[in-house]
Amino acid sequence: MKDKILIDPNTGQEYIDVPPTVAAKFLDVALNFIYEGLKKRVLPIGTAVQSEKGRWTYNIPCQRLKAYAKGTDVLQISEFLNLLKEGVKK
């Protein structure tokens, strides 16, 4: 089953923050697709941040990755949740 890919072999538990290599395998895409998609902010499965030294770090929440793989529009859901948060603050 494909969800087994998302199990951390060190802990036996599902990843909370999925490494890009695992995300690429789970989505059956090239690793560069993950890196570039996150850097350019066109792949809505997580974020990429560049440090002052130029090194990139990636955050791919497991639940967001799974939702994307199922075809859920995670950007639309994120925007909706942000609107809800703003409404609660007022």
**What is residue 3's DSSP assignment?**
G
- What is the per-residue pLDDT across 27-51, written as a single tens digit (0 to 9) for each? 999 999 999 999 999 999 999 999 9
Tokens of 3: 């969800």
SS3 89: helix
- Identify the domain containing residue 83 by its residue range: 2-89
Per-residue pLDDT, 27: 95
pTM for this prediction? 0.78
- Examine the pLDDT at 82 and tell me if it is beyond 80: no
- Examine the pLDDT at 22 and tell me if it is beyond 80: yes
> Which contacts qualify for 21-26: CB closer than 8 Å, 24 or more apart?
23/60, 23/65, 26/2, 26/65, 26/69
**Based on the structure, what is the number of domains in the chain?**
1
> What is the CB neighbour count within 10 angstroms for residue 8?
15
Residues 6 or more apart whose CB falls under 8 angstroms from that of 49 comprise 56, 57, 59
